[in-house]
């Protein structure tokens, strides 16, 4: 890192008052930093949540660990619905439940994104030293002069800045302002699949389907999932190819939508009274993986670092986007301690520590999309899942499933990937010796319990 | 492609008056299009060439084929120096020559980039319908309104535009204006290596080293090359790691520079009288590979397409950057014929036809860097090269080297890659049966001629 006059700055310009931004602003404020948070949108507590963001998300161990550090863990859990496993819905026949953990007790937590964001925003604003400026869009970042140009309702302003933390998401304006420097690698890769959200409302004042599971309708090339909400509705998300046969754009009339759902999702079509209207009205979202390197850039007067989705947006199939972004914030907080507030050591250490882990979760999230869609072969998967959990119970020091390590531990993602790849090879070897026998034994083991 | 009102437009806004831009403007002008060329820089014929671009380039079959279509082939060849092979300079011992073609007659042509650009600019400006506006920097592109915002010396203007062709290079401002659309994949990958240009001036009114070869000083992790210029000088280019031991930043005094070159490039150090001054004064360039997809974007009022480096900047190790960009222009010209000027068919057909080819040359250019640096093992390589050329002479319908297909044919790059990969497997098999014997036979075959 070029040492610039920002090295010991106690002033931080933080862009983006989303989940990671609010958490990081709070952590920095508590350390005595003066944090100016620039948020492009209006205050969501007054303006309502922006359309087009996902409605809920799955909070797991990493996210809860982060929230605990700002005293929000219990509040978040109180507003969340635990999901202890996946409920896989075949086209015909009844759904089957697969526990996420060997002992069946651990859960990921369905929580409202906007609710969680507002709680974090309240916490950030209450922290001395933190100021949040809404409707403040970053237009340019000049690291040589130490200036961030911001468009606000009352005009364009230049704000002095020495440390700029870009928490402004996959489409980060801050990143765009610096990413074209020579030597800055960058990639954005979109899936052919898009997503669209639908609703299963409460029925007779109660959940229409089991609220203790994450529901999956796996259909090979595409899928639908559903997560429960506090108001006893479910938010369903379609992950379908954007175009082509069976794609999101292939249904254009209410009759087509209803016929398609009656054929592909027969067990829930009748639980979705506004299905066709919602389908035709709701936008199609994109699924992007962002890779950047380095995450930091340095000029004579200022340094910038990318945080969360701005550095490493991932696809949502491991439910780790927010959890992972929180970990970035925790890493910066920890390193400020270790390096005694010296940004010239904190920022390089931050990117170096986090990059292998965010690369790992990016890869695992992409792999899990294939795996989830393949749950269509649910019998095979169920046997595998059961066998895996049996092994975990019998050899807990040797075998833990990837899903458990990602969701129920804070083991670094890169280590999870390494460890479960090794495990995968061992299991493949065992499999060659008799996967079917093992499955049978495991299933028997389960029934004995 | 969204059909917009640009479908049959006869007005084209072309960004960038570099090599590909001028060629394409000329081709379009000849078809009766009104072409406005927006060039960020001042007129190079008055202002002199911009620093930091490479001084010369190797024009080969594809480039010559393109120039022929605008009547510039002979003029270009007259201003170029043919290089019939590579001259590989070891640290000790004398250099050895490796012919590029089996018959030893074919050559790639060292030509001044600025000279070629000015010839193309003259040709474009002479073409009816083509207007070149210098010092005109694209700031924004609005495809919905059909407007390009341009910063000119007399202020910022909005120009109406329906078809925008972005020929503005690896750091394309036009691409930046549209690349953040959802569904637009993009990647920029920089090598750890940078480049720096040096000079071997004419000595006693003549070339100081053989002007009929491309000179290579391969040193494993790094290398230097030299191409001849019309004024009997050579432009040398160092391709070294930017940082670390042996990197471009590791030499910071004249004494260090001279000592390093005396050790690593002993046979030419005395031919470079201004070596240390040049080394310390000249900038370090970056080597980037750009990948984008799609190359086109469409709004209600305008469409944009990326052309040349803006769509697919590649590293220079196959000498194909300009040659490949010219092919893009030829493809668009050909497709305008085939689809009767219907841009809604031309642009998708263009990107679809070119993408596999530019991906192939991007991959081959990266591979060739490793291969060139490995010429350090020149004996092994010489044997391989000799054996290859012997095979080519004996089985001309079966075997042609990748280098020949890339440089001396207009076979699509993707086909070159496919064909030579297949060949590679065959040769590996032959190799397993006795590479040494084959080399010996081939060498004998050569000597007999």
B334/chain A closest Cα distance in angstroms: 29
> Which token pair is A218?
């796996």
Least confident of A178-182, A225-229, B418-422: A178-182
Between A and B, how many CB-CB pairs are < 8 A? 41
Residue A175 touches chain B, beta carbons under 8 Å = no
Q: What is the pLDDT along chain B (449 residues), one digit of tens a residue?
A: 445 666 888 999 999 999 999 999 999 999 999 999 999 999 999 876 555 456 899 999 999 999 999 999 999 999 999 999 999 999 999 999 999 988 889 999 999 999 999 999 999 999 999 999 999 999 999 999 999 999 999 999 999 999 999 999 999 999 998 887 788 999 999 999 999 999 999 999 999 999 999 999 999 889 999 999 999 999 999 999 999 999 999 999 999 999 999 999 999 999 999 999 999 999 999 999 999 999 999 999 999 999 999 999 999 999 999 999 999 999 999 999 999 999 999 999 999 999 999 999 999 999 999 888 877 666 666 777 777 777 777 766 666 789 999 999 999 999 999 998 877 666 665 555 544 554 455 555 545 44
CB < 8 Å from A in window 282-341 of B: 286, 288
What are the tens digits of pLDDT across the range A59-116? 999 999 999 999 999 999 999 999 999 999 999 999 999 999 888 899 999 999 999 9
Give the best residue of B1, B174, B178, B188 to mutate against chain A (max A CB count within 10 A): B188
The backbone torsions φ and ψ at residue A59, rounded to the nearest 5 degrees and listed phi first, read: -90, 125
A182/chain B closest Cα distance in angstroms: 6
> Which residues on A lie below 8 Å from B184 (Cβ)?
188, 190
* Nearest-by-CA chain A residue for B173: A180
Residue A212 touches chain B, beta carbons under 8 Å = no
SS3 B63: helix
- Whether complex ipTM tops 0.85: no
As a CATH number, domain A190-286 is 3.30.9.30
* Nearest-by-CA chain A residue for B242: A183
- Cβ atoms within 10 A of the Cβ of B306, count? 30
- DSSP character string of A27-71: HHHHTT-EEEEE-SS--HHHH-PPTTS-SEEEE-HHHHHHHHHTT
Instruction: Return the bridge partners of A224, or none.
Output: A217, A238
Domain boundaries, chain A: 11-83+107-189+288-373, 190-286, 379-447
Burial B382-405 (b: 16+ CB within 10 A, else e): bbbbbbbbbbbeeeeeebbbbbbb
Q: Do A190 and B171 touch (CB under 8 A)?
A: no
Distance (Å, whole) CA B71 – CA B382: 38
A150 neighbors A156 (Cβ within 8 angstroms): yes
What are the tens digits of pLDDT across the range A435-446? 455 445 555 554
Instruction: Output the average pLDDT for chain A.
Output: 90
* pLDDT value of position A449: 43
B148 neighbors B138 (Cβ within 8 angstroms): yes
Q: Do B185 and A189 touch (CB under 8 A)?
A: yes
Q: Which fold has domain A11-83+107-189+288-373?
A: FAD/NAD(P)-binding domain (3.50.50)
* pLDDT value of position B375: 73
> Which residues on A lie below 8 Å from B283 (Cβ)?
none
Q: Pick A171's closest partner by Cβ from B176, B180, B185.
A: B180
Distance (Å, whole) CA A294 – CA A273: 48
> Which token pair is B180?
């953040």
Residues 6 or more apart in contact with residue B398 via CB below 8 angstroms: B391
Q: Pick A190's closest partner by Cβ from B171, B176, B182.
A: B182
Start-to-end C-alpha separation, chain B: 57
Residue B184 touches chain A, beta carbons under 8 Å = yes
A396/chain B closest Cα distance in angstroms: 42
Whole-structure pTM value:
0.83
CB < 8 Å from A in window 237-266 of B: 242
- Going by C-alpha positions, the residue among A273, A363, A267 that lies closest to residue A312 is A363
Q: Pick A185's closest partner by Cβ from B176, B184, B188.
A: B188
Residue A186 touches chain B, beta carbons under 8 Å = yes
* Nearest-by-CA chain A residue for B185: A189
Q: Do A187 and B188 touch (CB under 8 A)?
A: yes
Residues 6 or more apart in contact with residue B315 via CB below 8 angstroms: B191, B287, B288, B289, B362, B365, B366, B369
Q: Is the peptide bond before B294 cis (omega within 30 degrees of 0)?
A: yes
* Nearest-by-CA chain B residue for A172: B180
Residue A446 touches chain B, beta carbons under 8 Å = no
What are the tens digits of pLDDT across the range A278-297? 999 999 999 999 999 999 99
Distance (Å, whole) CA B407 – CA A127: 65
List C-alpha distances in Å: A325 to A309, A441, B107, B137, B156. 7, 40, 55, 37, 40
Residues 6 or more apart in contact with residue B100 via CB below 8 angstroms: B83, B84, B85, B86, B106, B107, B108, B403, B404, B407, B408
Q: Do A188 and B186 touch (CB under 8 A)?
A: yes
Distance (Å, whole) CA A252 – CA B384: 61
> Which token pair is B369?
């860097």
Residue A183 touches chain B, beta carbons under 8 Å = yes
Residues 6 or more apart in contact with residue B290 via CB below 8 angstroms: B170, B186, B187, B188, B309, B310, B311, B312, B313, B314
SS3 A84: coil
Report which DSSP code applies to B141. E
Residue with tokens 């020949």: B404
Distance (Å, whole) CA A244 – CA A225: 21
Q: Do A187 and B189 touch (CB under 8 A)?
A: yes
B324 neighbors B340 (Cβ within 8 angstroms): no
Residue with tokens 């910022």: B156
Distance (Å, whole) CA A124 – CA A25: 6
A243 neighbors A193 (Cβ within 8 angstroms): no
Kindly provide the residue ranges of all beta strands, DSSP E only, lying in A107-212, ordered along the sequence. 108-112, 130-133, 137-142, 147-152, 155-160, 163-166, 185-200
Q: Do B242 and A186 touch (CB under 8 A)?
A: no
Distance (Å, whole) CA B373 – CA B376: 6
Distance (Å, whole) CA B133 – CA B16: 10
B251/chain A closest Cα distance in angstroms: 19
Distance (Å, whole) CA A296 – CA A304: 5
Q: Do B176 and A180 touch (CB under 8 A)?
A: yes
> Which residues on B lie below 8 Å from A190 (Cβ)?
182-185
High-pLDDT (> 90) share of chain A, %:
78
Pairing of strands B296-298, B303-306: antiparallel
Distance (Å, whole) CA B339 – CA B342: 6
Burial A188-226 (b: 16+ CB within 10 A, else e): bbbbebbbbbbbbeeeeeebbbbbebbbbbbbebbbbbb
> Which token pair is B442?
């081939």
Residue A176 touches chain B, beta carbons under 8 Å = yes
B192/chain A closest Cα distance in angstroms: 8
């Amino acid at each position: 890192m070029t040492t610039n006059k920002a090295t010991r700055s106690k002033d931080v310009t933080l862009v983006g008052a989303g989940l990671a931004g609010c958490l990081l602003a709070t952590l920095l404020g508590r350390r005595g930093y003066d944090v100016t948070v620039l948020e492009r949108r209006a205050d969501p507590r007054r303006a309502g949540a922006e359309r087009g963001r996902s409605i809920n998300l799955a909070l797991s161990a990493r996210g809860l660990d982060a929230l605990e550090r700002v005293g929000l863990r219990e509040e978040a859990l109180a507003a969340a619905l635990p999901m202890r496993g996946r409920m896989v819905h075949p086209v015909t026949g009844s759904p089957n439940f697969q526990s996420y953990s060997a002992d069946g007790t651990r859960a990921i937590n369905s929580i409202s994104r906007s609710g969680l964001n507002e709680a974090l925003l309240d916490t950030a604003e209450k922290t001395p030293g933190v100021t949040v400026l809404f409707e403040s869009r970053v237009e340019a970042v000049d690291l040589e002069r130490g200036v961030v140009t911001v468009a606000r309702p009352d005009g364009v302003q230049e704000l002095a800045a020495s440390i700029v933390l870009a928490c402004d998401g996959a489409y980060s304006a801050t990143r765009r302002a610096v990413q074209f420097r020579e030597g800055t690698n960058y990639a954005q890769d979109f899936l052919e699949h898009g997503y669209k959200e639908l609703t299963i409302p409460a029925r007779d004042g109660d959940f229409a389907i089991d609220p203790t599971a994450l529901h999956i309708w796996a259909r090979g090339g595409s899928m639908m999932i559903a997560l429960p909400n506090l108001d006893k509705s479910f938010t369903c998300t379609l992950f379908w190819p954007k175009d082509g046969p069976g794609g999101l754009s292939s249904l254009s009339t209410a009759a087509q939508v209803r016929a398609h759902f009656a054929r592909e999702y027969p067990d829930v079509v009748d639980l979705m009274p506004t299905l066709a209207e919602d389908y035709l009205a709701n936008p199609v979202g994109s699924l992007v993986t962002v890779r950047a390197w380095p995450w930091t850039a340095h000029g004579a007067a200022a340094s910038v670092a990318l945080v969360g989705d701005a550095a490493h947006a991932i696809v949502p199939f491991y439910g780790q986007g927010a959890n992972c972004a929180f970990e970035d914030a925790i890493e910066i907080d920890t390193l400020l301690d270790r390096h005694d507030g010296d940004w010239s050591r904190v920022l390089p250490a931050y990117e170096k520590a986090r990059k292998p882990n965010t690369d790992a979760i990016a890869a695992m999230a992409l792999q899990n999309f294939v795996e989830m869609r393949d749950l269509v072969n649910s019998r095979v998967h169920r046997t595998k899942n059961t066998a895996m959990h049996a092994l975990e119970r019998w050899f807990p020091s040797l075998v833990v499933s990837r899903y458990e390590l990602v969701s129920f531990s804070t083991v670094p993602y890169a280590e999870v990937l390494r460890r479960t790849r090794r495990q995968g090879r061992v299991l493949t070897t065992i499999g060659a010796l008799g996967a079917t026998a093992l499955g049978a034994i495991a299933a028997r083991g389960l029934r004995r319990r």
